[in-house]
Amino acid sequence: MQASHIRPVLLLAASVSAITLSAAASQAPARGEVWAQARDIPRAAADAQTEEPDADSEWTYWTNGRYRITPGDVLEIAFPYVANLNQTVSVQPDGYISLKELPDIRVQGRTVAQVKADLLQAYAAFVRDPILTVTLKEFERPYFVAGGEVSKPGRFELRSATTLTQALALAGGPTRGANVGQVVLYRRFEGDRLEVKQINVRRMFARKDLSEDVMLRPGDMFFVPRGILGKLAPILDVLRRY
* Fold observed for domain 38-138: wza like fold (3.30.1950)
Q: Please, where in the chain does CATH 3.30.1950.10 lie? A: 38-138
Cα separation values, 203 from 131, 208, 209, 215, Å: 55, 8, 8, 17
Classify domain 143-240 by CATH number.
3.10.560.10
Query: 66: exposed, middle or buried (C-beta count within 10 Å: 0-12, 13-18, 19+)?
Result: exposed
Task: Decide: pTM greater than 0.85.
Answer: no
Beta pairing, strands 96-99 & 102-106? antiparallel
Q: What is the pLDDT of residues 175-185, one digit of tens each?
A: 988 999 999 99
By C-alpha distance, which of 187, 210, 209 is closest to 198? 187
Q: What is the pLDDT of residues 67-109, one digit of tens each?
A: 888 888 999 999 999 999 999 999 998 999 999 989 999 999 8
Q: Above 60 in pLDDT, residue 241?
A: yes
Q: Please, where in the chain does CATH 3.10.560.10 lie? A: 143-240
